[in-house]
Amino acid sequence: MLQKCDQCGMVFDARKHYALRCSAECRKAADRARKQTPEYKAYERAYSQTPERKAYERAYSQTPERKAYDRARSQTPERKAYDRSRMARIRATRRLVRLAAAADVLSSAIGAK
Ligand SMILES: [Zn+2]
């Protein structure tokens, strides 16, 4: 059955009558586009907050597969660099907070408020 791909517009031979796209690439592109819509993002945000989803995430994070994946991922140079820069940012923020607090103490001590 001939059908027009709703992603690239090419006519293709649909093996299933409900096929909308000509190829895996077009299916992926359409899926990516769908995930960029405000509606989808709002849905994702709302869904990620449900107790079901949170329970699933917790259970999933405990599987041996996921733990092995996390371990392997944490060892990549990219991840190590990311962790380092994140820690540097956290330390810098802490320093700023301390400085701001000290400035606060100083300015109230000299009655500058
Ligand atoms: Zn296509």
Ligand 1 centroid–CA 45 distance in Å is 29
How far is it, in rounded angstroms, from Cα 62 to Cα 47?
21
Ligand 1 centroid–CA 72 distance in Å is 36
Ligand 1 (ion): residues with CB under 5 Å are 5, 7-8, 22, 26
Ligand 1 centroid–CA 54 distance in Å is 36
Residue 98, Cα to own-chain centre: how many angstroms?
A: 31
Of residues 112 and 91, which shows the higher confidence score?
91
Tens digit of each residue's pLDDT (9 = 90 or more) over 43-59 = 999 999 999 999 999 99
Q: Tell me how far CA of residue 35 lies from CA of 21, 24, 29, 47, 53, in angstroms.
A: 17, 16, 10, 14, 18
Q: Where do the H-state alpha helices sit in 19-112?
A: 24-35, 38-48, 51-61, 64-74, 77-109
pLDDT band at residue 113, thresholds of 50, 70 and 90?
Answer: low
Tens digit of each residue's pLDDT (9 = 90 or more) over 76-85 = 999 999 999 9
Ligand 1 centroid–CA 22 distance in Å is 4
Tokens representing residue 12 in the block: 């293709």
Ligand 1 centroid–CA 28 distance in Å is 10
Q: Please choose, from the candidates 31, 33, 13, the residue with its C-alpha nearest in 3D space to the C-alpha of residue 22.
A: 13
What does pTM read for this prediction? 0.45
